[in-house]
Structure 1
Amino acid sequence: MLKLLTLFTLLTICFTAMANEEPPFEQAPGNNINEIALPLTKDTAAELAKIETAGKVLSVDEERYGNRIVFRIKVLHNNGKVKIHRLDRDTGHAIP
């Protein structure tokens, strides 16, 4: 009986400790792209590009790309290269 009680106590402590763990970085408030409202604005497009690339956003411009409006985002990456990323204003998806 004592062994069973000890086992139950240890399991309770383990599950309590697991329940108090911090959420993964991606799920922490402000780090999840699912929290960005659509349609994108210049600010939200910059935030999305920053989250997806982990780079520094240099500029954001709105332009027509075919029959849709996209944001053209210039990003300085950690390797020192500047790349252009395009995000669809209405869906938030990257345009290749």
Structure 2
Amino acid sequence: MQADELPPYENAPGNSINEIELPLTRHTAAELAKVETNGKILSVDEESRDNKVIFRIKVLHNNGKVKVHRIDRDTGHAVP
């Protein structure tokens, strides 16, 4: 896969979270997860939980393991 074929969140520099505005979008949630994990973003989905929108982000970590990270759209905080 070429760089120009990557999803926009994999094409972005992904080195600063200071400029991310709330509420998060799929793209900014992916960027946040990328910066926090230093992994490769595989997918971003939305789910509802307790009347909140949670982004479910699947990340391939440098150790080869795939983990799912959940981030609250409105706060930008990780959700267990």
Give the TM bin, normalised by the shorter chain: 0.7 to 0.9
CA-CA distance at 1:33 after TM superposition: 1.4
Deviating beyond 4 angstroms after TM superposition, the runs of 4 or more aligned structure 1 residues are: none
Is 1:55 aligned with 2:36? no
CA-CA distance at 1:32 after TM superposition: 2.6
2:27 is paired with a residue of what secondary structure? helix
Gaps (5+ residues) in structure 1?
1-29
Q: Which residues in structure 2 correspond to 1:13-92 (within 5 Å)?
A: 31-92=15-76
1:72 is paired with a residue of what secondary structure? strand
CA-CA distance at 1:67 after TM superposition: 2.2
CA-CA distance at 1:34 after TM superposition: 2.2
Greater Rg over alpha carbons, structure:
1
Q: Tell me the number of residue pairs that the alignment of Structure 1 and Structure 2 aligns.
A: 68
Q: Percent identity?
A: 76
C-alpha distance in 1, partners of 2:50/2:68?
17
C-alpha distance in 1, partners of 2:49/2:62?
28
C-alpha distance in 1, partners of 2:31/2:17?
9
* TM-score computed with the length of structure 2 as normaliser: 0.79
Gaps (5+ residues) in structure 2?
1-13
* TM-score computed with the length of structure 1 as normaliser: 0.66
AA at the equivalent of 1:76: L
